Chains A and B, each alone.
Chain A
Amino acid sequence: MQLFELLQYDFMKNALLAVLIITPLFGILGTLIVNHRMAFFSDALGHSAFTGMAIGVLFGIGNTSLSMILFAVAFALLLNYIRHKNVVSSDTVISVFSSLSVAVGLAILSRNGNFSKYSALLVGDILSITRKEIISLLVILVITLVFWYAAYNGLHSIGINSSLAKSKGIPVTLLDNAFVVLVAVIVMLSVRWVGILIINALLILPAAAARNIASDNREYHLFSVMISVFSGVLGLVLSYYLNVAAGPMLVLVASIIFFVTFLARKLFHI
């Protein structure tokens, strides 16, 4: 078995490039999602991809990515609004919306017994990614980095205490909404490759594992990105040699790292 034979193939090169762009992105975003306790929120967001796609198919919009992004952005803003209303406990509200969007999407996509055509959306298909799509991912990576540079401190203080942040003159609502919109766009752009069932794991696991061992923000970010990229690359390579889907393999690696870091913190107080 030659280690680098996989790079002879264009489709593997494309997949590897995509992984190298998506995983740092998810590593960075994950840190704030975990800090803001939004794991469930981003999960619901991923599920809304179904409805977004269904709406696109229903209205005959050729590029369903567009309808997915538009729907997800609207969905994210609505969820965020309700989350801050505190009418019912927010996890209940999120669960209701998550179930609703899955049901609407399934109902529309399964018309005439055709759902199997869309089942690739569930586990993702990173091998079919093309150069053009990789470029759109690259653009979003740059936007994220700029946004991070400009807004991180504000977002971080919101995560710690939003009332305090407000009193310091930080535009809490604006920043918070901008953040969820960014998450929505990124999730929708990558869900075709990663799959609805596992996209949230990819957002949460690296950050959660990094949090196990990090003691400040610098470490937290660094470790999260490292773990994310590593899981992505190893997952992809393993999927190539073992002939299994890439998404699940990637999540498996990240999960193992999570448990190792979790135990390390408990046992060795690292």
Chain B
Amino acid sequence: MIIATNVNKRFGRLQVLSDISLTCNKGQTIALIGPNGSGKTTLIKCLLGMVIPDSGFMTVNNKNIARDWAYREQIGYMPQISRFPDNMTIEQVIDMVKDIRSGSSRHLDEELLQAFDLPSLYGKRMRTLSGGTRQKVSASLAFLFNPDILILDEPTAGLDPLSSEILKEKIQKEKSKGKLTMITSHVLSDLDDLVSEIVYLQEGKLRFHSSVSSLQKDTGEEKLNKVMARIMQQNR
């Protein structure tokens, strides 16, 4: 579904992405892992058309995304930090995004909205909300339009254990429907049993892209934490 070919991006002198080539298919849940500043968020932003690569190209469903905007109808995105206009209520924010995406005929998936019990907070202004509640709004927005591709940047950061469990269950459920999910997270224990593939980025380079089961076999470890620790030791 997503194919990146030789994507390069440079911010000033810093090479943030160098020669990234990646193929992601339907039904996969991919964890994007890497140290801070390894280019995970930039890669995601390239995919969403927020950052324009210097060279190389990306395709979503075999269509080049450069200078296109309609393809984003198939993507649900949850950013790392969510801030909304201070004086809008939760309901207005949701209505606004609904209005923007009203062209699509996809049916709305309000499951997460209900699970987070957001309708009871509809009248609240965004200014008064805690960071966690804003994350919930932004997660619900990502799932609301039933997109084929889900991109979640640090989804569980700032969520309480109960809510992050709800979110994980939802991701699991969407995975079984055959959607492609991309998650970045530093909390590897959150990703256990969730992801099927791991993409490891370091200093803007793609170190490896392989399935979790083969990694587990290679390292002889069960938990993702241990698996990654082993690999980092080997690389050293």
Q: Do A and B bind each other?
A: no
Residues of B at the A interface (CB closer than 8 Å) are: none
